[in-house]
């Protein structure tokens, strides 16, 4: 197997990535005051349940939601590192239940004074388009601004659902920064199955 030198980033054109790497454009967004929320009446069968202390359940839900989009941050995270986050009293993770199963994830991080991060918001395949995303966002905004905060922020990337960025904009977030994230392909490292996120082809190193 040959080892190729790391590529220098070209800010005015294309940059070739080494085999085994993936890249995404990341957009950072924020809001500084609570927006007017679109009302949504949830079905009686829907409920939110705290799951931050149930690490196995959290990982299973994160994996089910994230695999189609190649979410890898928590998939590659060691158990003790994840536990340190989820066990912090200033982190709140919720599962949206439809009466039979976990179908959505909402995670809020209050660890920075005066700020709240919308760490994760997602739905399992097959549950998108039923208003659950709006319900979770309304819950997120309400819980965030129930505290005396100055900023509520989130980031999304091109590995996420194609509708994610527009959804955040409609929800009242304003973009303020953009970056490029390069990482090892988690499928090649065994953290996610090879058939995860088929819209992002696996490019292994040539022998």
Above 90 in pLDDT, residue 9? no
Q: Tell me whether residue 17 is in a domain.
A: no
> Is residue 8 in some structural domain?
no
Task: Read off the pLDDT of each residue in 97-102 and give the average, rounded to a whole number.
Answer: 93
Residue 207 has pLDDT above 80, yes or no: no
- Judged by DSSP in three states, 66 sits in helix
Residue 11 lies in a domain: no
Percent of the chain predicted with pLDDT > 90: 80
Q: What is the mean pLDDT of the chain?
A: 92
Distance in angstroms between the alpha carbons of the first and the last residue of the chain: 5
- Angstrom distance (rounded) from CA 63 to CA 75: 7
Convert the pLDDT of each residue in 39-89 to its tens digit.
Answer: 778 888 999 999 999 999 999 999 999 999 999 999 999 999 999 999 999
Q: Is 194 part of a structural domain of the chain?
A: no
pLDDT in tens, 114-160: 999 999 999 999 888 888 999 999 999 999 999 999 999 999 999 99
Give tens-digit pLDDT for 73-84.
999 999 999 999
R_g of the chain computed on alpha carbons:
18
CATH number assigned to the domain comprising residue 62:
3.40.630.30
- Count how many domains the chain has: 1
Q: How far is CA 82 from CA 31, 51, 166, in A?
A: 27, 13, 29
Give the dihedral sign, CA 198/126/28/52: negative
**pLDDT range class, residue 170, cuts 50, 70, 90:** very high
């Amino acid at each position: 197997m040959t080892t190729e030198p790391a590529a220098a980033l070209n800010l005015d054109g294309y940059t070739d990535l080494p085999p085994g790497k993936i890249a995404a454009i990341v957009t950072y967004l924020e809001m500084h005051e609570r927006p007017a929320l679109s009302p949504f009446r949830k079905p009686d069968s829907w409920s939110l349940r705290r799951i931050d202390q149930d690490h196995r359940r959290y990982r299973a839900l994160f994996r089910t939601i994230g695999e189609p989009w190649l979410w890898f941050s928590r998939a590659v995270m060691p158990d003790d590192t994840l536990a340190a986050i989820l066990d912090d009293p200033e982190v709140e993770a919720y599962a949206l239940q439809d009466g039979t199963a976990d179908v959505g994830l909402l995670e809020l991080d209050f660890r920075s004074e005066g700020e709240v991060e919308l760490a994760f918001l997602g739905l399992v395949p097959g549950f998108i388009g039923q208003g659950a995303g709006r319900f979770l966002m309304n819950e997120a905004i309400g819980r965030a601004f129930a505290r005396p905060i100055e900023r509520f922020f989130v980031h999304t990337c091109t590995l996420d659902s194609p509708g994610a960025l527009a959804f955040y904009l409609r929800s009242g977030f304003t973009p303020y920064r953009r970056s490029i994230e390069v990482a090892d392909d988690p499928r090649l490292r065994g953290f996610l199955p090879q058939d995860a996120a088929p819209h992002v082809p696996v490019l292994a190193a040539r022998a």
